[in-house]
Every structure is written in structure tokens, then in C-alpha cells.
Structure 1
Amino acid sequence: MPQPKYRRVVLKLSGEALAGEKGFGIDPLFITSIAKQIREVVELGVEVAIVVGGGNIWRGLAGSAKGMDRATADYMGMLATVMNSLALQDSLEREGVPTRVQSSIEMRQVAEPYIRRRAIRHLEKKRVVIFAAGTGNPYFSTDTTAALRAAEIEAEVILMAKNKVDGVYSADPDKDTNAIKYDELTYLQVLNQGLGVMDSTASSLCMDNDISLIVFSISEDGNIMKAILGEKIGTIVRGNE
């Protein structure tokens, strides 16, 4: 059996990743393929926590750009992440993976409240934990949630699974044919060059807590396992040098 490089990880899934090729809503076939990849990783003994975005259903920034109150728009986005989390939980449990959803906004009928020590205990019992509703506060992205939760549960790495990008580029590869893909970066380089890996709050939090980040494509089957085994894939952003 292959030996994983990491013991405890946070998997960051964008909302668009759950939409598959549709670009909107939830693609049941694609979310099942993600669940199968996660199951394979869990079977190696890796403790997996997941943070899911909500962009396939609602984007707070898009709402506020059209005149909606920013806090209200962001709370709607948090509710979208809960819907995605429940869908992913359902797929994982159909694959035989015990899963708990913990929400930063209390809604006991559908999810546990987020409690750090309880989340860690679930992970120790080899349950997958899905962190829903962001940080529970407006003005913070789910990237920041991933960085915050990774620090809180002492995860070794954040696996950032993208739907249409296979790493970090110097520019948008769809718009600039001369865009260069990076194999390795530091958080200082990400911040200084304004690379769109994650927002500056999340990058600073990862840098301050020495949490590495691997950016890769979720579209290719088996990529989560490759990242867990330490194979060269996508772009790795290092913490403190």
C-alpha cells in the first residue's frame, strides 16, 4: 500500500468544481467522482477535512456589485456552501465514508455547529469533516475559511482543487498564450506579484502559520491521491522558507 506524505489535510473545493462541465448547480456524476477520489485517500488512513465554496449557486461579490447589501449577499453565499456540503456528504456516505458537516452558522436540523475540538475528534476517528458556511462572517472568502480551519485543526497542507486550471500561472492562460505555469512559489511571491491563487487574507494566514498549499486540477481522476502521495502535480506554494 502506498504511503501518504500527509497525515491531515484540508481539501478546498470551489463551488464550480461541483458543477462539473455545467458551470452552474450540482452535477451528481461529477460529485460522485470526487467522492470516490476522497474515499481512496481516506482508505490510506489520511484525515480529510473539506471546505466547499458556493460559486456554483451564488456569489456574494456578484450580488453586492449589483447593489445588494454586501453582508446580506455574503450570508446568502454561506447558505449556498451548506447546500454543496450536504450534497457532498450524501455522495461520500453512499461511498461508505462516514462524514460530518459542521456549519459556522447554526442550523442543527441539517449540520453540527462548528466546534474545533469536536472536528478534530471526528478526524481522529477517520470521519471526513466538511466545514460549511465559511467563517460565519461576511467579507471573508471560503479561501480564508480553508486557511483558518487548516490552522485550527493543525493540517499539514491545503489541497486546492480547481475545476479548469491545473496550477498557478503568471497570467490567465485562457487570455494570455504566453502565461507561464509555476511549479513552486512562496507566499511572498504570490502576494508581491498579485497572483490569483487565493485572496491576500488567506495567503497571509497560510504564510504566518507555515501551511503549504498545492493547487491542482480536479478534472483529472486520481489527482487528489497524487497530491496526497507527494507526486509532482500542479503548483506548490510553500510556507516559511
Structure 2
Amino acid sequence: MMTTLMPVIRELIRKTNPLLEHELSAEFAKSRLYGTKFCADQVATMDFRTFARKRPPEEEPSIAVALRIDESASMSAFGRLDAAKQAAVALYEFCKGCGIPIMVYGDTADRSKLEQMSVYSYVDFESKDANEKYALMNIQARSNNRDGMALRIISERLLNAPQKSKLIISISDGQPKAMPDYSGEKAAYDMKDTLQEFRRKGIQFLAAAIGQDKEAIRELYGAENTLDITDLKQLPARLVQVIARFM
């Protein structure tokens, strides 16, 4: 898979790195011995660290990305799961190549009465495992999906990231369904309520649609927040636009 995707990934990194190199952070790091801004509130510490300076991009990237993959049984149809795996690998390699923190989570529901909600951490911000990317091959279609709760769990995790911009990309077929009655209007209301709540907290959401799922995804996330990833050859240009948009 990597052999096939590497030309796409390299092109994506080549186009995006100039954007990151010229990015200026608006955040100031306090407790400095020198800097461009005097902080009167630091004088009482008596450690002479009374200045602040802007954090350069290489010190703290301004964007963190979370990829959420719906692992419901319906994702096995029409090549959705293969496309999701390829998108996960491409996005992971792209973020690593650009120094952007990334986490990749999968989720399903109702695997058993005792396991009503299941979340799988394939890649995490805090992981030190150099081989973590191989876990992406464990992404698979499993059971049902409770999208609202999955987005809530990932959003709460992403809120702890120090980066200024926080982006969640969700790959699903737009068919939330879980026991006993999580479907239709009830599921759609739950999802929209979750999106609204965490957008207020500063998280941006983008839904990646695969082919015939576009209309269902647009209804839930909004047309302006829907990305068509059916043609992976177009993925580099589309993701460059996304990263530039959310920086």
C-alpha cells in the first residue's frame, strides 16, 4: 500500500511544507530571560524570567489532527474500508512528514451486551512506538456504530492537545445505527448536537465521504465540511486546501 501511495504522499508534503515554514504563531511563550514582550505579572517570581516571545512554528505546530474511522459492518461494502485504510496511511505519513501531531482512532458499537461502545487507538499523540503505523492495517468492519459518542470521545481527547487549531476528520458512510434505537432522526440529532457543542469549544470537523455516501454525509456535517476522497489521486490537493484552511 505504501509503495502505491508514496508518490501521492511526497507530493502532498512538498506542497504543504512551505505553508508551515512561513507560518507565524500568534501565541507568546512566557517565563523567558529575554523576548519582545515584558510581563509584569512575572516579576514576583524573582527568577528574572520576565519576558515573553512568540513561539516559532518548529517549536509548537499550530495544528493537531485526529482521524476517526467508522468501523461498522456497512463500511465493508463498495470498497469503503479499503479507501479508508489508504486515506489513513496517506494522512498519517503526510502529518509525520510535516511535523503535525496526529491521532487515528476507530470505533464500533454493540459487539456484545457488555461492549456497547468500542474505541480503538491505532495512533496516538503520546505514543513513542516507531512502528505504530502498522496498526493501521488492523482497521476493519465490525458491528454497529454510535457516531455521536465516538466523536465526543475523540473530541475530548483532542481538547487536551496544546495546539491552537484542532481538526477532526471523520471517515464514515453516514449511516449511524446502534442498539436499541440509535438511528434515523435520533442519531442525526445526537450527531449534530455533538458537533455543535465541540465546535463552540474550538474543534473543527471535516467529514470524508466515499463515493455514494456523499449526500448522507453532507446532511450531517454540512456541504462546506464534506470532502470527497473517492479518487485518492486528488487527495494531495484536497488535503493541502484543508490544512491551509484550518491553520
TM normalised by structure 2 equals 0.38
TM normalised by structure 1 equals 0.38
The structure whose residues are more often helix, as a share, is 2
Q: Which has the larger radius of gyration?
A: 2
Structure with higher RCO (Cα < 8 A, 6+ apart): 1
